[in-house]
Each structure stands twice: as C-alpha cells, then as structure tokens.
C-alpha cells in the first residue's frame, strides 16, 4: 500500500470537516470563496512574523515597548495588526527574573493577529493540562531550563483577552537592525515555551 500523504486515508476529523463543509455549501449557508479567503489569509498572510515585528520594535524603541506593555491592543494596532482573536491584547514581558508562558486550558485561545493560528501541540490535552501543573517540566521538554529562582507565570486564557509574550532580547544583538532582530523571533518564544538565541 502506498504511504504518500496523497493516498493515506483521511482521519475521522478530516472526514467530518469535509462532510460539514459540503453540507453547509449545499445548503447555501456558506460561500466557497469566503471559506477560501479566510483559509488563505490565516495560512499565508497572518502569522507569527507579525508578532516578530512587534517584538523587534519593542526591543529597539523603549517608548514603543512602554506603550506595548501598558496597552497592547493599541500598540500592536500601530503596526497594523488587529482583528478577530486579538481585540483585547495584553503583552507580558519575559525577564531574567520572570518567565511567562501561555496556555488555554479550556480550549485553544490564541492571539491570531500577531501569532496566526495555534500549533497543534498548543491545542493538545497534554500541553493544556500539564503546563499549569508542571510548567518547568513542560518547558524542559521544549529545551528551556529555568533557574530555580526564576518566577514562572502561566497565563491561562479563559476570557476574551489574548496574550503574547515579549521574549528577552538575546545577548550579542546590540548592533542589529530591527529587521534582522525580527528574523530572530520565533513563534514558540512568543508563546513562552522557548527562549531566543542570537
């Protein structure tokens, strides 16, 4: 039996989604072009590069960083990012003393305008249940070892407020341009499961 991705049987979830989509289309409840436009936007246009630009700006511009930490929604909108699942944004800063990490234990809440759609592991039951009870153990699995004296704050997104982590700027990046800095910033660091390296 062939094992290429094109010929493998669809998973139950994929079959269910396809069935639902066909039904909704046949009944005229959704428009194919609207579905395609949304998928294209969140697959190709909105993603963690947006958040990376926000982070890089905060690193090079102390006044922007101050605005970002005080009123995340407005500061992020200054760079042109806003919309669904990012209407009320709070940005939390990682420092040598405090490490922040994000989760949604109830479902999969995530800041779409700055980070795009959530990775599969972020939505998985093991991550959601374990990061609140053993954050240091989960971070270790991501290769992130925290000093015992570092305070860990796990942000559980239960409301319509969406969070984003402002990672620590790596050492040795002093002379770098904003654009080069943005290229260093990863999705996982803005969720808070990893730290950044130069």
Partner 1 sequence: MAINAQQALGAALAGSSARVDVDIAPRFKVGDRIRTRNINPRGHTRMPRYLHDRVGVVERDYGVFSFPDTHAHGLGESPQHVYSVKFSAKDVWGREGGERDFIVVDVWDDYMDPAP
* Catalytic site includes residue 133: no
Both tokens assigned to 82? 């806003």
Rounded Cα–Cα distance for residues 119 and 110 (Å) = 10
Minimum gap (Å) between residue 143 Cβ and partner 1? 19
Long-range contacts of 120-127 (CB under 8 A, 24+ apart): 122/191, 127/103
* Catalytic site includes residue 104: yes
Among candidate residues 3, 22, 82, 104, the one labeled active-site is 104
* Catalytic site includes residue 109: yes
Tell me how far CA of residue 89 lies from CA of 93, 112, 163, 182, in angstroms: 13, 10, 6, 20
Rounded Cα–Cα distance for residues 148 and 8 (Å) = 46
Residues lying near partner 1 in the complex (CB under 8 A) are found at 28-31, 33-38, 41, 82-88, 90, 105-106, 113, 132-136, 148-161
Minimum gap (Å) between residue 121 Cβ and partner 1? 19
Q: Which of 60/132 has CB closer to partner 1?
A: 132
Among candidate residues 22, 107, 124, 133, the one labeled active-site is 107
Q: Which of 67/136 has CB closer to partner 1?
A: 136
Catalytic residues: 104, 107-109
């Amino acid at each position: 039996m062939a094992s290429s991705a094109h010929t493998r049987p669809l998973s139950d979830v994929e079959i269910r989604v396809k069935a639902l989509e066909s039904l909704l289309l046949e009944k005229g409840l959704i428009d194919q072009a609207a579905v395609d436009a949304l998928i294209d936007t969140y697959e190709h246009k909105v993603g963690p590069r947006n958040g990376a630009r926000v982070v890089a700006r905060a690193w090079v511009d102390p006044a922007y960083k101050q605005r970002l930490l005080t009123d995340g929604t407005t500061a992020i909108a200054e760079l042109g990012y806003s919309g669904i699942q990012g209407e009320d944004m709070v940005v939390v800063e990682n420092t040598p003393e405090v490490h922040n990490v994000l989760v949604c234990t109830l479902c999969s809440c995530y800041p779409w305008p700055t980070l795009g759609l959530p990775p599969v592991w972020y939505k998985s039951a093991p991550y959601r249940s374990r990061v609140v009870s053993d954050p240091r153990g989960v971070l270790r699995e991501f290769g992130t070892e925290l000093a015992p004296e570092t305070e860990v704050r796990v942000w559980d997104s239960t409301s319509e407020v969406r969070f984003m982590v402002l990672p620590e700027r790596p050492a040795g990046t002093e002379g770098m341009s904003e654009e080069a800095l943005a290229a260093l910033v990863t999705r996982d660091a803005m969720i808070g499961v990893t730290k950044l390296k130069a």
